[in-house]
């Protein structure tokens, strides 16, 4: 409700939103007043015949536009476009944009008998979690969005999902995988990244089988929500597989030096080193491992090796680093949506952005495709109808089979384990999509 705010603030707020219907009339009147031969500026009397004809020709176009503008689904996308997480925010945005463009060229999505246009409303929350929640609230109460794509990362999703839950608007989170995000009993939250234990348990089993005599491992985790949760899950999975966790270290956010942690880890002589963090942390850790001549037979890092930046920054040091992903371009799925197969998606993405997509971008597009499918199934763009459709959805897409579990997190995903060989990601597990074998670092 817009009660009580001074005009100037209302105007300032509305400037932030994209204009939906371009204003055509004022220029015509302006044109008319300028060309008025009588020298008077009165808009009505100064309209020349030329202008009247022009208006008559243009009006049907305007009318058609206004009419087709009637059905628009607005989707909120709060992203960290500035600040620490800006690179990740931009990736998510690319994932949405490529879908939005594909949908636009198909003239909108099919909801019942209408073709509904899609409008993405972005907001920059500056990598600051409370701002993310604020941005989401603003989008819902002021922007009239029917659904929200989650912000980047588990922490921000957890915080802003309380907002969407309160307002009963569905949120689709493409980049949140910690189970802790989904444990608040929210009915309106959905996530397209499989939980951490879907990553760690198969990983532990695979390594145990693939690496002879794997006895000890060392874990180094960054001390915030997702990396720490992942590290703890790995510890549990290792225990289940009878691998001894000789050392579990945590490093503070923004740590500049890992020498002490690495020195201590090296002393335990682990067979397998498992490191979690964001790309920048992992680059630093790998470099310092090399400086300290600390090596192990297997080095697994999450989530850096999925990104081009990691490979570029480390060069030869990135060789034989293994990792787990939630999606790879070589996956064999074929499904609904603007991109039939993973390969189609990768091709379209590369053509547009000049870089091979990684799982974060694919997950973002998957969220969009899933929302589209839900809208088509529910034949409505009402938030609650969308939510119900999402809850009961079971669909195959380029991203894989998508089915959300009772907590809202996807439960149908198989996470490929890969290793960097020759600067490329080579999938080593699961067996049905395997491309090569794990190479032990000697």
Partner 1 sequence: MSERWMVGFATTAAIGAALGLLYWAGAYELRLGTILAMYIALATGWNLIGGMAGYPSFATAAFFGLGAYAGTLTQVKGVPMVLAWTFAAVVAATVALAIGWIVLRLRGHYFAIASFAVVIVLREVATNWTGLTGGGMGVSLPMLQSSMLAQARLFFAAQAVLAALAVAISLFVAYSKLGFALGCIRQNESAAGMLGLDARRAKTAAFCISSAITGAAGAIYASSIFYIDPSDVFDILLSVKPIIMAMLGGAGTVAGPILGATLFMILEQTVWANFLSVHSAILGALVVVIAMFVPRGLFGRRLRRRLA
Partner 2 sequence: MIAQVLLNGLLLGGLYACIAAGFSLLWGVMNVINLLHGTLVVLGGYLAWMAFYFFGVHPLVALPAVALLVGLFGASLQAGVLGRVVGAPVLVTLVITFGLDLITRNGLLLSFGADFRTIRPSWTLGTAEVGGLKIPLDRTIAASAALAMTLALYLLLRRSWLGRAIIAVRMDRDAAALMGVRVRHAFTAAFALSAALAGAAGALLGLVFPISPLQSDGYLGTAFTVCVLGGLGSVVGAVVGGVVLGLVESIAGFALGAENASIVSFVLLILLLAVRPEGLLGRRGYA
Structure tokens at 270: 């682990």
- Considering only 48, 59, 82, 263, the residue that binds partner 1 (CB under 8 A) is 82
The reply to whether 253 sits near partner 1 by the rule CB under 8 A is yes
170: left (phi over 0), alpha (psi -120 to 50) or beta: beta
- Considering only 267, 269, 403, 437, the residue that binds partner 2 (CB under 8 A) is 267
Alpha carbon distance 146, 170 (integer Å): 8
In the chain, the largest separation of any two C-alpha atoms, in whole Å, equals: 96
- Considering only 77, 103, 116, 133, the residue that binds partner 1 (CB under 8 A) is 133
Residue 372 beta carbon to partner 1: minimum distance, rounded to whole angstroms:
28
Closer CB to partner 2, 301 or 366, in the complex: 301
The reply to whether 291 sits near partner 2 by the rule CB under 8 A is yes
The reply to whether 184 sits near partner 1 by the rule CB under 8 A is yes
Q: Where are the beta strands (DSSP E) in 143-297?
A: 147-149, 171-173, 189-191, 216-222, 244-251, 272-276
Provide the CB-side half-sphere exposure for 378 (13 A, CA): 20
Neighbours of 11 (CB within 10 A): 10
The reply to whether 328 sits near partner 1 by the rule CB under 8 A is no
Size of the site for partner 2 (CB under 8 A): 35
Sign (positive or negative) of CA dihedral 276, 277, 282, 285 = negative
Closer CB to partner 1, 223 or 236, in the complex: 223
* Cβ–Cβ < 8 Å for 405, 395: no
Structure tokens at 236: 């549990």
- Considering only 33, 51, 55, 162, the residue that binds partner 1 (CB under 8 A) is 162
**The 272-276 sheet, strands edge to edge:** 244-251, 216-222, 272-276, 298-302, 321-324, 417-421, 424-429
The reply to whether 236 sits near partner 2 by the rule CB under 8 A is no
Closer CB to partner 2, 189 or 314, in the complex: 314
Q: Choose one: 88-96, 113-121, 131-139, 197-205; the region binding partner 1 (CB under 8 A).
A: 131-139
Sign (positive or negative) of CA dihedral 127, 130, 133, 137 = negative
Residue linked to tokens 């989707």? 75
| Binders in 28-57 for partner 2, by CB under 8 A | none
- Considering only 88, 137, 197, 358, the residue that binds partner 1 (CB under 8 A) is 137
Give kind and range of the element (H or E) at residue 29.
Answer: helix 25-35
The reply to whether 354 sits near partner 2 by the rule CB under 8 A is no
| Binders in 72-101 for partner 2, by CB under 8 A | 82-87
Give, as one character, the DSSP assignment of residue 305.
Answer: G
Name the CA radius of gyration of the chain, rounded. Answer: 26
Alpha carbon distance 186, 260 (integer Å): 41
The reply to whether 246 sits near partner 2 by the rule CB under 8 A is no
Closer CB to partner 2, 137 or 281, in the complex: 281
The reply to whether 144 sits near partner 1 by the rule CB under 8 A is no
Alpha carbon distance 380, 411 (integer Å): 25
Alpha carbon distance 317, 164 (integer Å): 43
Alpha carbon distance 192, 401 (integer Å): 10
Contact of residue 249 among partner 2, partner 1, none (CB under 5-8 Å per partner type): partner 2
- Considering only 114, 180, 244, 411, the residue that binds partner 1 (CB under 8 A) is 180
Q: Choose one: 128-136, 204-212, 306-314, 336-344; the region binding partner 1 (CB under 8 A).
A: 128-136
Residue 152 beta carbon to partner 2: minimum distance, rounded to whole angstroms:
12
Q: Choose one: 243-251, 327-335, 339-347, 404-412; the region binding partner 2 (CB under 8 A).
A: 243-251
* Cβ–Cβ < 8 Å for 179, 240: no
Q: Choose one: 17-25, 164-172, 187-195, 310-318; the region binding partner 2 (CB under 8 A).
A: 310-318
Residue 79 beta carbon to partner 2: minimum distance, rounded to whole angstroms:
13
Alpha carbon distance 331, 52 (integer Å): 59
Q: Choose one: 23-31, 123-131, 313-321, 345-353; the region binding partner 1 (CB under 8 A).
A: 123-131
Give, as one character, the DSSP assignment of residue 159.
Answer: H
Site track for partner 1 across 208-227, x = CB under 8 A: --------------xxxx--
Give kind and range of the element (H or E) at residue 116.
Answer: strand 114-124
- Judged by the rule CB under 8 A, the positions of this chain that interact with partner 1 are 1-5, 9, 12-13, 15-16, 81-82, 124, 126, 128-130, 133-134, 137-138, 141-142, 155, 158-159, 162, 165-167, 178, 180, 184, 222-225, 228-229, 250, 252-253
- Judged by the rule CB under 8 A, the positions of this chain that interact with partner 2 are 82-87, 127, 223, 249-252, 254-261, 263-264, 267, 279-280, 283-284, 290-293, 309, 313-315
């Amino acid at each position: 409700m817009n009660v009580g705010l001074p005009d100037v603030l209302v105007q300032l707020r509305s400037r932030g939103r994209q204009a939906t219907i371009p204003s055509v009339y004022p220029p015509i009147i302006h044109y008319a007043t300028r060309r008025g031969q009588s020298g008077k500026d009165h808009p009505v009397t100064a309209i020349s015949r030329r202008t009247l004809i022009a208006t008559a020709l243009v009006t049907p176009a305007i009318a058609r536009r206004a009419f087709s503008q009637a059905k628009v689904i607005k989707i909120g996308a709060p992203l960290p476009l500035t600040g620490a997480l800006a690179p990740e925010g931009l990736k998510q945005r690319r994932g949405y944009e490529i879908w939005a463009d594909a949908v636009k060229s198909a003239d909108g999505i099919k909801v019942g008998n209408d073709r509904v246009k899609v409008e993405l409303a972005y907001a920059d929350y500056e990598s600051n979690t409370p701002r993310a929640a604020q941005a989401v609230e603003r989008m819902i109460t002021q922007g009239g969005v029917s659904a929200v794509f989650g912000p980047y990362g588990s922490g921000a999703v957890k915080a802003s999902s309380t907002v969407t839950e309160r307002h009963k608007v569905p949120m689709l989170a493409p980049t949140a995988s910690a189970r802790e995000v989904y444990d608040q009993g929210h009915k309106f939250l959905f996530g397209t990244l499989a939980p951490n234990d879907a990553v760690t348990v198969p990983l532990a089993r695979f390594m145990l089988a693939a690496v002879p005599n794997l006895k000890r491992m060392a874990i180094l985790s960054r001390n915030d929500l997702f990396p720490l949760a992942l590290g703890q899950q790995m510890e549990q999975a290792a225990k289940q597989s009878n691998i001894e966790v000789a050392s579990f270290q945590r490093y503070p956010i923004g740590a500049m030096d890992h020498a002490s942690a690495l020195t201590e880890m090296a002393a335990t002589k682990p067979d397998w080193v498992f490191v979690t963090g964001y790309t920048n942390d992992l680059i630093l850790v790998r470099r310092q491992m090399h400086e300290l001549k600390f090596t192990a037979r297997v080095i697994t890092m999450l989530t850096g090796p999925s990104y081009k930046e990691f490979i570029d920054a480390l060069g030869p040091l990135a060789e034989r680093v293994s990792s787990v992903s939630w999606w790879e371009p070589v996956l064999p799925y074929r499904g609904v949506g603007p991109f039939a197969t993973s390969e189609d998606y990768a091709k379209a993405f590369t053509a547009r952005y000049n870089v091979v997509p990684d799982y974060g971008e694919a997950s973002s597009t998957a969220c969009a495709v899933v929302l589209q499918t839900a809208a088509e199934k529910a034949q409505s763009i009402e938030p609650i109808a969308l939510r119900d459709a999402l809850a009961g959805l079971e669909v195959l897409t380029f991203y894989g089979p998508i089915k959300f579990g009772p907590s809202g997190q996807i439960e149908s995903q198989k996470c490929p384990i890969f290793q960097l060989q020759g600067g490329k990601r080579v999938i080593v597990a699961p067996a049905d999509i395997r491309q090569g074998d794990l190479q032990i670092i000697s």
